[in-house]
Structure 1
Amino acid sequence: MAELRVFKTDEELQVMRYASLIASEAHKAAMKHIKPDLYEYQLESIFRHTSYYTGGCRHLAYTCIAASGCNSSILHYGHANAPNDRQVKDGDMCLFDMGPEYCCYASDVTTSFPANGKFTDKQKIIYNAVLKANREVLKQAKPGVRWTDMHILSERVILEDLKAAGLVQGDVNEMVKNRIGAVFMPHGLGHFLGLDTHDVGGYLGDATPRASEPGLKSLRTTRTLQERMVITIEPGCYFVDTLLDAAFADPVKSKFLVKEKIDQFRGSGGVRIEDDVIIWAGENENMSRVPRTVDEIEAFMAQK
């Protein structure tokens, strides 16, 4: 039986570039429109309208996640039981994970930004840690590199920044070994993207068996990267009470956690930064086109 193809043709890549471009424009429209006291579904509506009216994308690739405040720590928020119906508050961190579909090909972009357009110092700590992980993986994810190693790299980068900010303590390598990264990022780093949002082929071919450890067991692929693979890079950092409480109750994990510092971030939700990326032997191609640094986001949102 022939192995399932996971790399994309030139024609497929062109369609996916367009879908990601429209996703980016729709995300920017939502960022421009947002203000405290709107409802999350109103921002979802702006995204849907822009995707169709501006880009001709009649369908979305998946159910929109338009999370604000504490909801931004709910990984798949926005479904029928949590329908993007919270009222956005001044000072909230927002996490919008939304992507249109074009000619049956999916996009999948996540933006995180403050509802009022200005990051607090605490929001900057978490946002910059996640952005640094995103950018480091974008640089290191090359043909011949196993995706599992990229997940561990993203955990290490985030933990180093959390340590510098005083939220965790001890040796970062020991933290990775004891799965402290999964306390803050319980999901996998990313997934194949194509005709489906979570595209097929993640555990075929040269994939290693699915792990059983927290975080690693959630990886949607363990394959070695090849040119023309399209994959999302989406590290995140969240403050989820159930995960934190379990870690504090664990005698091994708790020694790495600084409770009085972490408790200051409880209820703040989380940050995820997700880009749609084509793997190349040279510089990887990031198809997402949205403001990413703190300065870029604040300058963009100030143009309202």
Structure 2
Amino acid sequence: MASSSRLPPPKVPMELHAKNREKLLKSLRQHLTETSRPLHGFVFLQGGEEKTRYCTDHIELFRQESYFAYLFGVKEPGFYGAIDIATGKSILFAPRLPADYAVWLGEIKPSSCFQQQYMVSMVYYTDEIVGVLHELSNVLEKPLLFLLHGLNTDSNNFSKPAEFEGIEKFEKDLTTLHPILTECRVLKSDMELALIQFANDISSEAHVEVMRKTRVGMEEYQLESIFLHHTYMYGGCRHCSYTCICATGENSAVLHYGHAAAPNDRTLQDGDMALFDMGAEYQFYGSDITCSFPVNGKFTSDQSLIYNAVLDAHNAVISAMKPGVSWVDMHKLAEQVILESLKNGCIIVGNVDDMMIERLGAVFMPHGLGHFLGIDTHDPGGYLKGLEKLKGPGLKALRTIRELQEGMVITVEPGCYFIDALLAPAMESSNTAKFFDREAISRFKGFGGVRIESDVHVTAGGCQNMTKCPRQISEIEAVMAGSPWPLN
């Protein structure tokens, strides 16, 4: 049985979402004033809908649409939400449930229950949207709806604007809301930070529990199950922030391992490195943590070399992070530290500055250094209007190129991987072949990779690491041998 947690799940004040609405309203009103537009109309969002598994009646576990969750905190499907720009009043529209809902799914709550639970000004039913908004509007013509529509630069998908019967009776603005609401999500409040911290605390505990239970001969999915059990049993985390990556051996070089075609199903072998990227979500807010360690509990010299290269990069970035620092510079810093360590370990040779010019770092770390974290694992806002993604290996994978600001939460996740599909062409290229010690590189065939990932809050004077996992080799080996964590 997993070790019990000392972390009681915190209560979530609905004031958090009320404050989020206030924050949006302030920014939106400021924008409308600066663009000489009247302060009237409604922010109008549609919440998520329940989905069935293909054509069956099996209903998949519902998780609220993230922008709607940010503003209203509603757990149930089928809701709409509005904010009156003129008055600041908030309105929820709940689905009108059939009588037999009470038989199969439980009590049908009155609207007053939702009003109190979610701290909104009013609650009506979804079939009343047209009448209510027309009545509340202070204009004679069609009321204006600010709808959510914009590009998510991580997925390249567009958010879906609200739809309902009678929407043709309203004017629609599809461009104003998305960038303003997205920017609100980038900078976290203290209440948001408290939830992200709890998600980190319980996930850090679960990672430690996985370290303690890891044994040669186990299956990867068994270790995934230990993580899921701990975060749910002791943290009340019904959702994970993303699909667990439980990679060992050569699988640890597969950056997004764990998907349906690679379902965490390898048997752990003596001498393997494990790369476990797993994070729990609590009350919509998530964590994203990666730990790497030898499955037998003892680092070899080669494992130590690669692990410390990544750890040094991880620590160098966190030491340099503060408001005003460029995230592109942090990515390049991580690459440089890893290349210097690989050179000192006689895996590569030559001038590190020349390697940086030739983008050699992207051969070993093809992904970006990190991403915003919040209600989504890859929280939006990485690219402000006018910012374009950089060109070139590694840099084109950056999920943001912004300067750091106080209140951001961003992952720091450098890695070093031995990926044949990247190494082979680099070792044949006239620009980069000279940097490789081929005999040394051959030692790492099948090694996989190492990633170390922490969630970091940018503060006024620097940053705070919210993740509390063993990181030093001595700490990991001690925990895997049975020592308590934190170490005495």
- Give the TM bin, normalised by the shorter chain: over 0.9
Match of residue 96, structure 1, among 270, 276, 280: 276
> 1:22: Cα distance to partner?
0.8
- SS of residue in 2 equivalent to 1:112: strand
1:216 is matched with which residue: 376, 383, 395?
Answer: 395
> Cα deviation per residue 1:8-48 (whole Å; 9 max; x = unaligned)?
00100000000011110111111111100100000000000
Moved over 4 A (4+): none
Give the whole-Å Cα distance in 1 for the aligned partners of 2:413 and 2:323. Answer: 19
Instruction: Tell me how far apart the structure 2 counterparts of residues 204 and 55 of structure 1 sit (CA, whole Å).
Output: 35
> 1:197-238 CA deviation, whole Å, 9 max, x = no partner?
011000115x74211200000000000100010000000000
Note if 1:114 corresponds to 2:299. no
Q: Does residue 261 in structure 1 map to residue 440 in structure 2?
A: yes
1:144 to 324, 328, 341: 324
Q: Does 1:227 align with 2:413?
A: no
Aligned to 1:199: 379
How many residues were matched structurally? Answer: 303
- The correspondence for 2:476, drawn from 269, 274, 297, is 297
Find the counterpart in structure 2 of residue 37 from structure 1.
217
Q: 1:84 aligns with which of 241, 264, 269?
A: 264
> In 1, distance between residues paired with 2:291 and 2:380?
24
Which of 122, 128, 143 matches 2:308? 128
Following the alignment from structure 1 to structure 2, what is the Cα–Cα distance between the partners of residues 261 and 241?
14
Distance 2:273 2:249 in 1: 5
1:170-196 deviation line (CA, Å, top 9, x unaligned): 111110110100000000000000110
Residue identity in the other structure for 1:64: C
Alignment of 1:249 with 2:249, yes or no, is no
Distance 1:238 1:208 in 2: 29
> Deviation at 1:282?
2.2
Unaligned runs of 5+ in 2: 1-175, 484-488
Equivalent residue in structure 2 for 1:64, among 244, 261, 273: 244
Aligned-pair distance for 1:108?
0.2
Q: Could you report, residue by residue, the CA deviation over 1:82-131 in whole angstroms, capped at 9, with x for unpaired residues?
A: 00000001111000000010000110000000001000000000000000
SS at match of 1:94: strand
State the alpha-carbon separation in 1 of the partners of residues 331 and 353 from structure 2. Answer: 14
Supply the distance in 1 between the matched residues of 2:374 and 2:428 (Cα, whole angstroms).
41
Write the letter of the residue equivalent to 2:296: N
By how many angstroms is 1:283 displaced? Answer: 3.9
* Structure of greater Rg: 2
Query: Could you say which residue in structure 2 is the equivalent of 1:48?
Result: 228
User: CA offset at residue 281 of structure 1?
Assistant: 2.6
Q: Which has the higher contact order (CA 8 A, sep 6+)?
A: 1
Report the equivalent of 1:169: 349
Contact 2:323–2:461 under 8 Å retained in 1: no
CA RMSD of aligned residues (A): 1.1
Unaligned runs of 5+ in 1: none
In structure 2, what is the Cα distance between the partners aligned to 1:105 and 1:79?
Answer: 22
- Could you tell me which of 333, 338, 359 is aligned with 1:158? 338
Report the equivalent of 2:30. none
SS at match of 1:137: helix
Match of 1:187 among 354, 367, 385: 367
- Counterpart AA for 2:309: A
CA distance in structure 1 between the partners assigned to 2:360 and 2:442 by the alignment:
16
Using the TM superposition, give the Cα deviation of residue 169 of structure 1 relative to its aligned residue in structure 2, in angstroms: 1.1
- For 2:230 and 2:388, the matched residues in 1 are separated by 41
Separation in 2 of the partners of 1:282 and 1:92? Answer: 40
Match of 1:284 among 449, 463, 468: 463
Q: Give the C-alpha shift of residue 150 in structure 1.
A: 0.3
Secondary structure, aligned partner of 2:375 = coil
The residue aligned with 2:99 is: none
Deviation of 1:256 after TM superposition, in Å, equals 1.1
Secondary structure of 2:369's counterpart equals: coil
Match in the other structure for 1:27: 207
SS of residue matched to 1:54: helix
Say which is worse superposed, 114-123 or 258-267, in terms of deviation: 258-267
Shift of residue 260 of structure 1? Answer: 1.1
- Secondary structure of the residue that 2:235 maps to in structure 1? coil
Q: Which amino acid aligns with 2:466?
A: M
How far apart in 2 are the matches of 1:214 and 1:63? 26
